[in-house]
Homo-oligomer: A and B are copies of this chain.
């Protein structure tokens, strides 16, 4: 029996998930918090996960910006490096005691000039993200709509029916800089402040787990175990359609402006 392209690709990807040995990310393996939702999605014949992160705290030193177009900040750049990365909430408190590089605290900055070439140290919490390749646009749309309906509002469908499931739970905090004249890492916030953002990060982990669970349940209910026909739309008579269209027109009028700005 011959397979179509999607099925072939899915089989290939699932074999890789099993081995998970070629992973290029700093963590190196698929983090276990993603496994349940990945298994759920992969149990559906029209979907296969292609990349995942369960949410993580990272502390990162930006690379050399002069080699990096002079403006780009926040990127890895040349010489950028991770001081710390974890998917595990139990590793959040006291992460700064566990990094190997020596750190100096200096909230006065002792005359060190900061400018657009400064290599900042960034403390980031990034939430769960999952990419799912779907067999066709219809299954991609269904997954997208399910995600949107439980708050994954930055989700989107991309090329090749790959859906990115994204939620907005984040921190992105500059906590210091690399003093290139001394080679030292300087934190320009206090230890107290680090403790505060660590606690906030723990709240983000909790919030994130809750959203992952919510998404799991919705996908299970609305997609995996759904007994609905393939199409969401019920058959509508011409008269029903006329009435609906008229209603929608009235609703649009009532709603007024469609154009939003922030």
Indicate if A3 sits at the interface (CB-CB under 8 A).
no
The answer to whether B259 touches A50, judged by C-beta atoms less than 8 angstroms apart, is: yes
| Closest B residue by C-beta to A120 | B200
Also in contact, A257 and B166, with CB within 8 A (given A173-B173, A203-B71): no
The answer to whether A261 touches B23, judged by C-beta atoms less than 8 angstroms apart, is: yes
Our pick among B155, B174, B193 for the contact of A200 (Cβ within 8 Å) is B174
Also in contact, A262 and B189, with CB within 8 A (given A72-B207, A154-B154): no
The answer to whether B53 touches A262, judged by C-beta atoms less than 8 angstroms apart, is: yes
Q: Please give, as numbers and ranges, the residues of chain B lying within 8 Å of A78 by CB-CB distance.
A: none
The answer to whether A156 touches B164, judged by C-beta atoms less than 8 angstroms apart, is: yes
Task: Choose the segment among A11-19, A92-100, A218-226, A236-244 that binds chain B (4+ C-beta atoms closer than 8 Å).
Answer: A11-19
Our pick among B50, B73, B258 for the contact of A50 (Cβ within 8 Å) is B258
Give the docked Cα–Cα distance between A85 and B189 (Å).
24
The answer to whether A193 touches B189, judged by C-beta atoms less than 8 angstroms apart, is: yes
The answer to whether B258 touches A12, judged by C-beta atoms less than 8 angstroms apart, is: yes
Q: List 27 A-B contacts (CB under 8 A).
A: A12-B252, A17-B259, A20-B261, A23-B257, A23-B261, A25-B261, A26-B262, A27-B261, A29-B261, A50-B260, A51-B259, A53-B262, A71-B206, A73-B200, A74-B169, A114-B196, A126-B262, A137-B137, A155-B156, A156-B156, A171-B172, A171-B174, A172-B173, A174-B196, A174-B197, A188-B193, A189-B193
List A residues at the B interface (Cβ < 8 Å).
Answer: 9, 12-13, 16-17, 20, 22-27, 29-31, 34, 49-53, 56, 71-74, 107-109, 114-116, 120, 126, 129, 137, 141, 144-145, 148, 154-159, 164, 166, 168-174, 188-190, 192-193, 196-197, 199-200, 203-204, 206-207, 210, 252, 256-262
